[in-house]
């Protein structure tokens, strides 16, 4: 979408036959996604209301306006849902929106360039920075912990990584 929006969830298909959807929320408190309406779908349509009805494995069960049937819900599987940045809470100094990390250049503690952040992967425990390094054919996954990533300077688009031995070796 734009720099003024952040992905807060993704529609994951239908739940049942009454038009309820599976909604994967990327919010720290998954149910909070309903508090940030109106949201915008990746296709540009607005979601004015979300009613959380429960949870299922890895997703919320929700009633989303504009989706009335199982077929409509299934057709939107994989559709990202965005909130305006000004709708979201300010974060403490040591927390970051994943969207703000993507595109940042990474450096080791000696100032040598390591690569650019392509994505942030969430695996349930610690997040992983997916770094595209010019020295590697594959991306490098860096644990996003304070010990390994001691400095994040969003203003300059710079992240300092103290990688475990061998992580960025050729």
Residue 1 has pLDDT above 60, yes or no: no
User: How far is the C-alpha of 18 from the C-alpha of 20, rounded, in Å?
Assistant: 6
Predicted pLDDT of residue 3: 66
Q: Are residues 77 and 114 in the same domain?
A: no
> Which stretch of DSSP H or E encloses residue 67?
none
- Given a contact cutoff of 8 angstroms between Cβ atoms, the answer to whether 141 and 121 are in contact is yes
Predicted pLDDT of residue 148: 93
Question: Which tokens hold the place of 133?
Answer: 């390094």
Q: Are residues 10 and 82 in the same domain?
A: yes
This prediction's pTM: 0.73
Last residue of a domain, one of 87, 108, 123: 87
Question: Is 129 a domain residue?
Answer: yes
Residue 133: pLDDT band with limits 50, 70, 90: confident
Predicted pLDDT of residue 45: 94
* Mean pLDDT of the chain, nearest integer: 89
Instruction: Read off the CATH number of the domain in which 143 is found.
Output: 2.30.30.240
Q: Using alpha carbons, select from 3, 4, 57 the residue that is nearest to residue 30.
A: 57
Instruction: Read off the CATH number of the domain in which 10 is found.
Output: 2.40.30.60
Question: Is 167 a domain residue?
Answer: no
Predicted pLDDT of residue 28: 80
Q: Using alpha carbons, select from 90, 94, 111 the residue that is nearest to residue 150.
A: 94
Question: Is 50 a domain residue?
Answer: yes
Question: Which tokens hold the place of 125?
Answer: 């425990």
Residue tagged 């990202």 (tokens): 80
Cβ burial of 91 (10 Å; 0-12, 13-18, 19+) is: exposed
Percent of the chain with pLDDT over 90: 62
Q: Are residues 80 and 114 in the same domain?
A: no
Q: For the segment 52-89, what is each residue's pLDDT rounded down to a tens digit?
A: 999 988 899 999 998 999 999 999 999 999 999 888 88
Question: Is 169 a domain residue?
Answer: no
**Rounded mean pLDDT, 144-150:** 92
Residue tagged 């100094």 (tokens): 93
Q: Are residues 39 and 74 in the same domain?
A: yes
What are residue 84's DSSP bridge partners? 5
> In total, how many domains does the chain have?
2
């Amino acid at each position: 979408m734009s720099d003024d929006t952040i992905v807060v969830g993704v529609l994951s298909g239908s739940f049942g036959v009454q038009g309820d959807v599976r909604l994967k929320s990327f919010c720290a408190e998954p149910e909070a996604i309903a508090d940030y309406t109106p949201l915008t779908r990746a296709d540009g349509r607005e979601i004015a209301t979300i009613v959380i009805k429960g949870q299922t494995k890895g997703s919320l069960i929700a009633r989303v306006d504009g989706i009335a049937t199982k077929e409509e819900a299934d057709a939107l599987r994989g559709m990202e849902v965005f909130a305006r940045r000004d709708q979201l809470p300010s974060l403490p100094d040591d927390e970051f929106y994943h969207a703000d990390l993507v595109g940042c250049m990474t450096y080791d503690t000696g100032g040598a360039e390591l690569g650019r952040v392509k994505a942030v992967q969430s695996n349930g425990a610690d997040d992983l920075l997916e770094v595209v390094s010019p020295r590697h054919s594959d991306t490098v996954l860096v644990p996003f912990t304070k010990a390994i990533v001691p400095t994040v300077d969003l203003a300059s688009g710079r992240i300092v990584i103290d990688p475990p031995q061998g992580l960025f070796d050729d």
